[in-house]
Chain A
Amino acid sequence: NAGVTQTPKFQVLKTGQSMTLQCAQDMNHEYMSWYRQDPGMGLRLIHYSVGAGITDQGEVPNGYNVSRSTTEDFPLRLLSAAPSQTSVYFCATSYGTAGTNEKLFFGSGTQLSVL
C-alpha cells in the first residue's frame, strides 16, 4: 500500500500564481485534512473533509480552496499565491475524525516557496 501520497514534493511559485497540491490515499479513510507547518508556529489545520462531498474550514483557511469528489483524493488549491503561503504542507488522513481514537497518517509533505 502506498498510504498517503502527496505531489509535488517541492514547488516554487511567483506571487499571484495559482496551483493545486495533490493528496491521494489508498487506505479507504473517510477523514482527510490539510495542515501547514511553519517554524515557530507548529502545525495548523487549513481544511478538512469527513467524506466525499463534505468539506469544512480549519484554523487558517484563507487563500485556500478544497473539494472532495472521491474518497481517495483531497486536492488543495492556492487561488493567488502570496509569500505568506510559503510553508510545508501536509495531508493527513484517518478512519475517523480527529476526535475518535484513530491514528492520523501523514503524507511526506510539499515544500512550497512563493517569491
Chain B
Amino acid sequence: KQEVTQIPAALSVPEGENLVLNCSFTDSAIYNLQWFRQDPGKGLTSLLLIQSSQREQTSGRLNASLDKSSGRSTLYIAASQPGDSATYLCAVPPGAGSYQLTFGKGTKLSVIP
C-alpha cells in the first residue's frame, strides 16, 4: 500500500527566506505527483503536477522536483511571503488509470512578516 509522508508537519520561517518542503512515498511506481495548497477553511488548489517522466515543474516562485528512484519530491518556494502561509500537501496515484490519490498529511507553513 502506498504511503506518503511529509516532514515536518509544521514550519515557520521569516519573510523573504527560501524554503523546501519534503514529500516521500513508499512505492516508486507512481504515474505522477501533485502538490496542493490548502488555506484554512478552504478546499485544495493544485499547484504543480509532475509527470513520472519529468524531473521538475516550475510555476512562478514555486519549483517542484521528483526523484522516483528515491521516492522523494521537494517543493521549493523562493522569496517566501506572508501570503504563502498555508498547508501544502503532496499526493500520488498508485498507477496509471488509478481512481484515487494517496495524500500526505501536509506541512503547515507560516511565513512571519
Contacts and interface: CB of A to CB of B under 8 A. Distances in A.
Given A42-B106, A99-B31, A99-B95, A104 B43 contact: no
B90 to A, nearest CB: 11
B91 to A, nearest CB: 8
Query: Binding site of B, secondary structure by majority: helix, strand, loop or mixed?
Result: loop
B44 interface: yes
B105 A97 contact: no
Interface in B33-65: 34, 36, 41-46, 49, 51
Interface residues of B, number: 27
Interface in B85-113: 89, 91, 93-101, 103-106
Contacts of A59: 100
Nearest to B97: A99
